[in-house]
Chain A
Amino acid sequence: MSTRDRRKRDPVNAFAIPAVVIVALVTQVPLIVTLILSAIKWIIVRPDLGIRFIGLENYLGVFKDAEFYMVIINTIVLTVVSLAGCTVLGLALALLLNRKFVGINIARTLMIAPFFVMDAVVGIVWKTLMLHPSFGINGMIAGWLHIKPIDFLGNHSMATIIMLVIWQWTPFFVLVLLSGFESISEEILDSARVDGAGIWRTIFQIKIPAIASHIEVAVMLGLIFILKVFGIIYVTTSGGPGISSTNLPYLVYRTGFFRWDVGRATAMAVITVILTLVAVTAFFRFTRRKTSEVES
């Protein structure tokens, strides 16, 4: 019996078929259709214009649109600033929480909670109870200080969205980084103490380098998820005022489901895919290079 026959006969191989089928149906097939649609002129609410093949015209239209560049910049700012904020805050909080005292588990429980709260509720609670200029905590504090309340979502929409994303995602970073800090062996820390390393040197030269792989995992997953932030924007600002808090996913949504411009929206979606792949690949290259530098 050749290996080929045996391979065919192993019933275990068939185990993978249903998952392959459904994942292909939900991700690959629609992606191919997206590519095809992006070469077509089709505005659902204007049947009089008809449906016709126009090649790259949708892409040209997107690239001529000044709004589109603003949205790309918004997306990059949102992603980079949120990731940086989550990393720094996550490291600081994980270091703080990496100690033992009675009640530490309750404190940690409170800290990680926002990560499990859905986008819709994050948006609703912050928009109403917290940041509402008259009736939220925002208005209350402004009243105590006798100042005019800040109109967070009106005047600082992107900064506020970033704040909410950081609030929601830092707990995830804390979880991952804390598990890293807890895995550092006591011996290493003891020998550092014997060598007379101070607190800051221990943190920056021993603890943080020791959890490099944890930081990578947190940033990588954070990158993938923060690139597709949508629910928070939908609930709080609807991308506004103007397009000041619109990111790529929200722009595709608006183009597809408000203007019903299928061609334009799918072209934007394709560009979003390419930018995502570029970002992820760049991150991979960056971390691989750093790891090999450390090793050599």
Chain B
Amino acid sequence: MIDYTGSRARRKTAHYLFVLLIWVICLTYFFPILYMFITSLKHETDVVPPKLFFTPTLENYRTVLLSSDIVSHIVNSAIITLSSMVLCIFLGVPTAYAIVFGKLKKPDSLFFWFLSTTLLPPVAVIIPVFLIFKNLHLLDTRWGMIIMYVGANVPIVIWMVRSFLKDIPAELLEAADIDGATRIRSFFKIVLPLARSGIISSALLVFIFVWNEFFFAINLTYVNASPIPVYMASYMTQEGLFWAKLSAISTVTVLPPLILGWISHKSIVRGLMMGAVKG
């Protein structure tokens, strides 16, 4: 006879062992971020060398958030990121609409052209962009950065939103045509609401990409327009040993994309997969 109770007990033990293993792995994986946060709560004297037990303090955060220097870089990041995100949506969604429902001669080749630009490594454009920006006085300006980020990220919006639009049956728009609605009106009345989740997840992805971007930022900005990653890289070389403050800035900087990512990772992945499967 098979000992059902025994095997069930064994299976249960295995399950709990798995759960334990998962927690150990996930906590270990997350540890650098957790440790960064813990360090940000320490006094500098408790950081180097690291002490296990310490009285937590919010002083580092106060220093960071009261430093007009740091705040101005965070403001730069926020303005550049939000503007780029909004412009990407304003330019990308109508383009996806034109590709799917417009009467373009070759909608697919236009789409693949957009897609191919995402393959272009940033180093392929950086030197001309630097020289052009220098002559147009766009170096170290927020506008310059916004132009770069919109150009680089619009294809992502087009890619993700197109796959959502393809799910909208053409009959729905044809019916609207007969009802006398213009195609521009049906864009606002029918297409936008139906593609909303795709638009939002692509917008969040653009936010995360732009907020975290480093290569263009470090090469095209110096002081005035530089977003927070550039400031952090220079802080690291100049005042590299103030680890508690460094951790506090890092924590503040990492938080916006991290929270957005935690909220939206499922819809982002769904959007990516839809975009990829529908080629």
Contacts and interface: CB of A to CB of B under 8 A. Distances in A.
A112 B229 CA distance: 21
A224 interface: yes
B63 interface: no
A206 interface: no
A235 B246 CA distance: 13
A272 B123 contact: yes
Interface stretch (A19-27, A60-68, A149-157): A19-27
A52 interface: no
A129 B270 contact: no
Interface string A258-273: 0000100110111011
B147 interface: yes
B217 to A, nearest CB: 9
Interface residues of B, number: 93
Given A13-B104, A120-B214, A175-B265, A231 B257 contact: no
Contact of A120 (B95, B97, B232): B232
A135 interface: yes
Interface in B65-116: 91-92, 94-95, 97-99, 101-105, 110, 114
Nearest to A36: B128
Contact of B125 (A27, A140, A276): A27
B26 interface: yes
A219 to B, nearest CB: 11
A239 interface: no
A124 interface: yes
Interface in A1-47: 6-7, 10-16, 18-20, 22-23, 25-31, 33-34, 37
B47 A7 contact: no
A125 B54 CA distance: 20
Nearest to B30: A110
Interface string B226-264: 000110110010001001001100100110011011100
B184 A12 contact: yes
Contact of B215 (A23, A134, A230, A269): A230
A114 B32 CA distance: 9
Contact of A10 (B36, B183, B265): B183
Contact of A16 (B95, B132, B148, B258): B95
A176 B35 contact: no
B250 A19 contact: no
A126 B154 CA distance: 32
B168 interface: no
Given A113-B30, A124-B236, A217-B276, A265 B127 contact: yes
A116 B123 contact: no
A277 interface: yes
B98 A96 contact: no
Nearest to B122: A228
Interface in B154-210: 154-155, 158, 183-184, 187, 208
A234 B117 contact: no
Interface string B129-154: 11110000000000000011011101
B223 interface: no
B130 to A, nearest CB: 8
Interface string A219-237: 0110010011011001100
What 7 pairs between A and B have smallest CB-CB spacing? A26-B151, A231-B214, A15-B94, A116-B261, A33-B128, A30-B125, A118-B212
30 contacts: A11-B184, A12-B98, A13-B104, A25-B151, A96-B21, A99-B18, A108-B26, A111-B30, A113-B258, A114-B32, A117-B254, A118-B229, A118-B254, A119-B214, A121-B232, A126-B32, A135-B47, A135-B48, A167-B29, A213-B277, A217-B276, A220-B276, A228-B123, A231-B214, A249-B121, A256-B127, A269-B121, A276-B119, A276-B120, A280-B119
Given A113-B30, A217-B276, A227-B121, 9 more contacts: A16-B94, A22-B154, A30-B128, A31-B128, A33-B131, A116-B258, A117-B258, A171-B29, A228-B121
